Chain A
């Protein structure tokens, strides 16, 4: 994984009030205590981070960037988006991957996406590159009518998102990811979404492909893993607990 130094167009005080570090440490304590695998812990951490900085939503997207092709969505998690608004945002996220690595403050999503309504305004982004896999983007958002994130809130997000690499990754360092099993980008993406409990129709919508194409990919997955059924497929490649199935309108827990 590659992080460049923080990309600053804003000044950032270098020290942190102890109360902020304690709040982050307390959140990490609850993540350590939480049951579940990587996805459940990522969700809990990002929900908690959003609470600390008074945000209304967040997203994590992972895109492959094959040469001469548009970026392909491999995996994602989100909170605070409707499905429709997320598909608008997701296309923007793909385009943003050529931007600077590190945390930047965006003014408003509607300035970056003129005329499109994601439901959100102020946003903070953190991107990372995963050699051999693709690029990830984490966004922290507030409703469109809200004031912008403060310097402190930005510093807190930058600290957490840059010092905990598994937030940007698809699994903990000790776990093999789907990609490492010799699958193509697209098959790995389908497998990951199946593991998370998405239906075939949802997968088709998420990846922007036809339902028939999804059927075809799933047949290829059965062949790859030498299984005959959906449950056998999930059993073969289950590592850690799957995250809860996505809601149409996920809300930040708690």
Chain B
């Protein structure tokens, strides 16, 4: 970013005001994250957001991440979003970003136009899920936390409302890159490092279970039979050594002190 760049007064004021609110927010880290994301979405006219951890960011391996906090989704769009980001055909599109992150080792914020200038994602089988999630404009922010964890934030805009601009990307970058404590704190002890050994479909089921979807809800959203869902759930429970959905949810909410 060019040091001589100027930020418009309105944007500058909005950034400082929002950070002041987050500093004065009475809640725990999850609540502060939510307030920050809600405020950011208001400033740059975004509709949805998700904040989670990436368990696998090596460019030559399939990308694996788990969204833990989110806003602006309903039951249907969130399930579609989960299927979209877990889709195997998305890995190739993330490879470049993952490589840059590995080389530079610092917080990066990118527009979808930067990462996928030819809109190759529209040619993948993941595209119908992005449409169903009502997501067109995307800003992605990645911040390496340590050798094994990457904090991952997606900011999304609905279909038909235009893509995010450089100005909006810059605002997101300033707001998200200068609050390191929100990236490092408030995560569950389980960072999802073992996720890569699950299949994409298993990871999708697991992500929905963690968010409290019922078995019937998962079957409906994924368009599969309840029997198939149960098989996936059995595998997921065994993988994490839990015996119930409640156990799984506790595993991925512990360390947060509050509701994800």
Binding site for B on A (CB under 8 A): 14-19, 21-22, 24-26, 28-29, 31-33, 38, 41, 45, 159-160, 163-167, 172-175
In the bound complex, CA of A38 to CA of B32 (Å): 16
CB pair B7–A32 under 8 Å, yes or no, is no
Judged by a CB distance under 8 angstroms, whether B106 is at the interface is: no
5 closest A-B pairs by beta carbon, nearest first, are A164-B20, A33-B181, A28-B19, A25-B178, A15-B6
Contact partner of B24 among A16, A18, A33, A166, CB < 8 A?
Answer: A166
Inside 8 A of B4's CB, which chain A residues have their CB?
A: 17
Q: Once the chains bind, are B174 and A25 in contact (CB under 8 Å)?
A: yes
B198 adjacent to chain A (CB < 8 Å): no
Closest to B32 in A: A32
Which residue of chain B has its CB nearest to the CB of A16? B12
User: Do B16 and A160 touch across chains, with their CB atoms under 8 A apart?
Assistant: yes
Q: Is the pair B1, A163 in contact by a Cβ cutoff of 8 Å? A: no
Q: Which residues of A contact B17 (CB under 8 A)?
A: 163-164
Inter-chain contacts of B15 with A (CB < 8 A): 21, 24-25
List 15 contacting pairs A-B, 8 Å CB cutoff, sorted by A.
Answer: A17-B4, A17-B6, A18-B6, A18-B7, A21-B7, A24-B19, A25-B19, A25-B179, A26-B178, A28-B16, A32-B22, A32-B32, A41-B23, A164-B16, A172-B26
| A163 contact from B8, B13, B178, Cβ within 8 A | B13
Interface majority SS on B: helix, strand, loop or mixed? helix
How far, in whole Å, are A153 and B22 apart by their CA atoms in the complex? 24
Q: Does B118 count as interface, using CB distance less than 8 angstroms?
A: no
Does B231 sit within 8 A of A, measured CB to CB? no
Q: Of all chain B residues, which has the CB nearest A33?
A: B181
Asked if B259 is at the interface of the complex by the 8 Å CB criterion, the answer is: no
Interface status of B175 (Cβ within 8 A of chain A): yes
Q: A33-B180, A163-B20, A173-B24 are in contact. Are A18 and B3 (CB under 8 A)?
A: yes
> Does residue B112 face the partner (Cβ distance < 8 Å to A)?
no
Most buried by A among B26, B174, B175, B178: B178
Shortest Cβ distance from A44 into B: residue:
B23
- Docked CA distance A31–B178 (Å): 11
Bound-complex Cα distance A33 to B178 (A): 11
Q: Which residues of A contact B170 (CB under 8 A)?
A: 18
The residue that A18 contacts in the complex, of B1, B26, B175, with Cβ under 8 A, is B1
- A interface majority secondary structure: helix
Bound-state CA distance A163–B1 (Å) is 25
Q: Is the CB of B174 within 8 A of A22?
A: yes
Q: Given A22-B178, A29-B178, decide whether A16 and B20 contact each other with a Cβ distance below 8 A.
A: no
Task: Indicate if B103 sits at the interface (CB-CB under 8 A).
Answer: no
Q: What are the residues of chain B within 8 A of A38 when measuring CB–CB?
A: 24
> Are A28 and B20 within 8 A (Cβ)?
yes
Q: Is the CB of A174 within 8 A of B174?
A: no
Answer yes or no: B5 CB below 8 A from chain A CBs: yes
Q: How far is the CA of A166 from the CA of B9 in the complex (A)?
A: 21
A165 contacts which chain B residues (CB < 8 A)? 20
For B177-209 the 0/1 string (1 means CB < 8 A from A) is 011111000000000000000000000000000
Set B2, B3, B9: member contacting A15, Cβ < 8 A: B9
Within 8 A of A (CB), among B5-41: 5-9, 12-13, 15-17, 19-20, 22-24, 26, 32
Q: How far is the CA of A174 from the CA of B13 in the complex (A)?
A: 22
Q: Which residue of B lies closest to A38 (CB)?
A: B24
Query: 1/0 contact trace for B90-130 toward A, CB 8 Å?
Result: 00000000000000000000000000000000000000000
